[in-house]
A and B are shown apart, each in its own frame.
Chain A
Amino acid sequence: MSGYPKGNVLIGCSVIAFALITLLVWIPSDTATGIVETVRRRTVIGDAMAPSLAALFLLVGGLLLLTAERRAASQPLPSREAVVFALQIALILVVSLLLMRWTGPLAAALAGEEYRLLRDSYPWKLAGFILGGTVMVAALLVLAEQRLSLRVLVIALAAVIVLVAIYDLPFDDLLLPPNGDV
């Protein structure tokens, strides 16, 4: 076993595999024109040319990691802790975005109204943003401080109210989430 780190080999192999799949499978099957096309006796660049160049950049990059940079001193890889953290963040974001998207429509449905007709009126238009945004910031603060406190909720709510004051109150044409989707 040689003693140098293996980060670049791992990244290089993954990127080469992705580049080859992109070049040989994805691009040919998912573009309507090839690298070059002849249209009415004129040869023009097709839609596959540019993505193939992108895949070529990936391929050369991966090969460089496997050859010239194989023994580089610094070869960082995402740690297990970094991956777990990303999953925690992703979970918080999914829950808070679902609340942001559906709080207003669900509340309107419970009141026997259609959200689309209420999305320009208070408090309906802000219900999802305030609840989803507060949950997002508060949950992230709980993750940081490892405890739930009233202070965390107050900070999160205050931050959301400031955002409403910046984006919603002065501008009629700006839509806060989820009002552009309903």
Chain B
Amino acid sequence: MGMLDHAWLGVLAVFQGPAAFSLFSLPISFTLLLVFAGFVLGIVVGATPGLAGPMAMAISLPVLISIFGYSSDALLPVMGFLIGVMKGATIGGAVPAILFNTPGTPDAFMTTLDGHPMARAGKAGKALRVAHFSSVTGDTFSDIVLVLCAPFLALLVEAYLDLPEKTALLILSLSFIAAVVGGSPGKGLISTGLGLLAVYVGSGEDFYPRLSMGTETLSRGFSVTTAVLGVLILGAVFEGMQETFHDHRRQPGATTHALTGDQVLRFADIRRLLPYIGQSAVIGTLIGALPGIGSTLAATLGYTLGRTRHQKHQPAGAPGFGDGVPEGVAATEAANSAVSGANLIPVLSLGIPGNAAAVFLILAADSIGGFTPGPSVFRVPSEGINPELVVAFGLFTAMFLANALNWTLGGLFMRSMGVMTRAPKHILLPIVLLLTLTAIYVQEPRMEAILFALAFGFLGYFMRKAGISPLPFVIAFILGGTLEQTARQAFAATGGDPFFLFASPIAAFFMLAAVAVIVFTARKPVT
């Protein structure tokens, strides 16, 4: 069967999978239902300051796995739900940014710059419509690029990269992520080193579990769940609690601004906004395709380039970016939303997660089994079916399904989420903490798992307080095992060549690039 046959099977797997219920005699599959549920949940958490898509993913995962089990039939419903959350949270973050000058997600900060002035001027409805239209357009563009690029990139990797090159590529990815995430290559390398060290505790090929200090507690090592949820989610919860609690003031009463004038997004508006959206969608997609670079940078770049364009084309004296112009909202939202689809390019084609949402997709695939993101996913067998390729196209279908929901219902949901901004953060965070600890325990029912997760949570908290991004830690923890395994195989396959990482031009190039990216980012002027 060819690639197109697999694509069609993927579409069918989404629409004709096990049915949850029938609507007018039409069976609605679990995957459809869960993409919808995830999408709605994503908008809710995105619109709630202090909560975020990854938190919802972390908490939902054990429940979903309990419902659907560990069979390959579980993959599409569970991962479809996570994709729904990812998409929903992207547009949800703009709601509090526009209505109350409080970004629901970090990447929505730039949206406040023009979105909130529009709301203050009585144009909140229009600002939300602009944000929604731009976000969905950027996201859809990014998904199209993902579908077109990921399979070909994977095929290229399979065709040209052997074990030494794959090892060097993993080192390059870790080095790149360390260099670009958080703006400090030194701190990025520290975060990466800590993640690698943590994943190597209690593992290895010898009978003695290395770095376990002879203790039974460490001999089993740390599970992905405890490390990832600890550093990423608990660390963020602790930091959020510290900031909220010690403010000693509740969130100020949200002030609503009366709507005045035309709130509709008209065709003329769309025509005027499209160049900004197009430019930002390309920027977001390019940035998203590189692992580790978040949507915050995409939003900043999209906004900056949009402002330059606006200055060129606007008559003198007209309101500019920052004064509440729809172009500012469009440039930001298109850029940060375009990151989400493209971020899955390195995940699906190389198995390298680029952001927190991708980490949870890998975690889901790892927990359920039967789908290992990486180049082998896109291998077309000479005869028979590659089930992983069917799942990959099923995921693409789920993404476009979420986009369809976004185009049709997203705006409506988004505009009704203003109430979530009033959810008191200081009450939500302790509940999220208990919820996360419970989610960890049900996945790994021993108190040690909770203690490890809390220890990682405090590590994540202090890393954040010291300006060290926890994302390289998490990505290194996930890739550490693969890196060691690939290196061992490459070393053995080259007959124990100590220079196996420099034996081929491609591997040598990757290794030099890994060093160069650190050197060049470290040499940038101090700001």
Contacts and interface: CB of A to CB of B under 8 A. Distances in A.
A75 B183 CA distance: 12
B190 A11 contact: yes
Interface string A21-45: 0100011001111001000001111
- Main secondary structure on chain A at its contact with chain B? helix
Nearest to A4: B526
A93 B450 CA distance: 10
B156 interface: no
Contact of B522 (A22, A62, A69): A69
A137 B426 CA distance: 11
A64 B185 contact: yes
Contacts of B492: 42, 44-45
B499 to A, nearest CB: 13
B478 interface: no
B187 A11 contact: yes
A160 B438 CA distance: 10
Interface in A14-72: 15, 19, 22, 26-27, 30-33, 36, 42-45, 47-51, 53-65, 68-69, 71-72
B245 interface: yes
Interface in B218-250: 238, 241-242, 244-246, 248
B19 interface: no
Contacts of B62: 167, 174
Contacts of B121: none
Given A48-B210, A97-B447, A43 B484 contact: no
Given A44-B496, A57-B192, A76-B465, A85 B246 contact: yes
B28 interface: no
Interface string A142-155: 01111000000001
Contacts of B200: 50-51, 54
A48 to B, nearest CB: 7
Contact of A61 (B66, B189, B523): B189
B194 interface: yes
A30 B204 CA distance: 12
A61 B190 contact: yes
A86 interface: yes
Nearest to A85: B242
A109 interface: no
- Main secondary structure on chain B at its contact with chain A? helix
Contacts of A86: 238, 242, 458, 461-462
A177 B441 contact: yes
B194 A58 contact: yes
Contacts of A57: 174, 178, 189-190, 192-193, 196, 476
Contact of B518 (A33, A60, A73): A60
B212 interface: yes
B480 A180 contact: no
A-side interface size class = 35 or more
A89 interface: yes
Nearest to B435: A163
Given A61-B193, A68-B523, A82-B242, A76 B438 contact: no
Contacts of B212: 30
B430 A50 contact: no
A43 B434 CA distance: 49
Nearest to B189: A61
Given A12-B186, A89-B241, A141-B426, A78 B210 contact: no
Nearest to A19: B193
B441 A141 contact: no
B189 A64 contact: yes
Nearest to B66: A171
Interface string A170-182: 0101111111110
Nearest to A141: B430
B409 interface: no
A121 interface: no
A54 B197 contact: yes
Most buried by A among B191, B193, B527: B193
B478 to A, nearest CB: 14
Most buried by A among B63, B451, B465: B465
Nearest to A137: B430
Given A60-B189, A69-B522, A32 B435 contact: no
B24 interface: no
A61 to B, nearest CB: 3
A106 to B, nearest CB: 15
A56 B200 CA distance: 14
A77 B483 CA distance: 32
B164 to A, nearest CB: 13
A118 interface: no
Contact of A167 (B178, B248, B438, B468): B438
A101 interface: yes
Interface in B475-505: 476, 480, 483-484, 487-488, 491-492, 496, 498
Nearest to A151: B427
A107 B458 CA distance: 32
B51 to A, nearest CB: 14
Contacts of B193: 19, 54-59, 61
Given A30-B210, A44-B488, A57-B192, A145 B426 contact: yes
A93 B433 CA distance: 10
A87 B119 CA distance: 41
B431 interface: yes
Contact of A101 (B190, B427, B447): B447
A74 interface: yes
B207 interface: yes
A55 B197 contact: yes
Nearest to A43: B496
B383 interface: no
Contact of B454 (A15, A30, A93, A167): A93
12 contacts: A31-B208, A47-B206, A47-B210, A58-B189, A64-B189, A69-B187, A86-B461, A136-B430, A141-B427, A167-B62, A176-B438, A181-B446
Give 10 closest A-B pairs by Cβ, nearest first: A180-B445, A61-B189, A57-B193, A64-B186, A43-B496, A54-B196, A58-B193, A140-B430, A47-B204, A61-B190
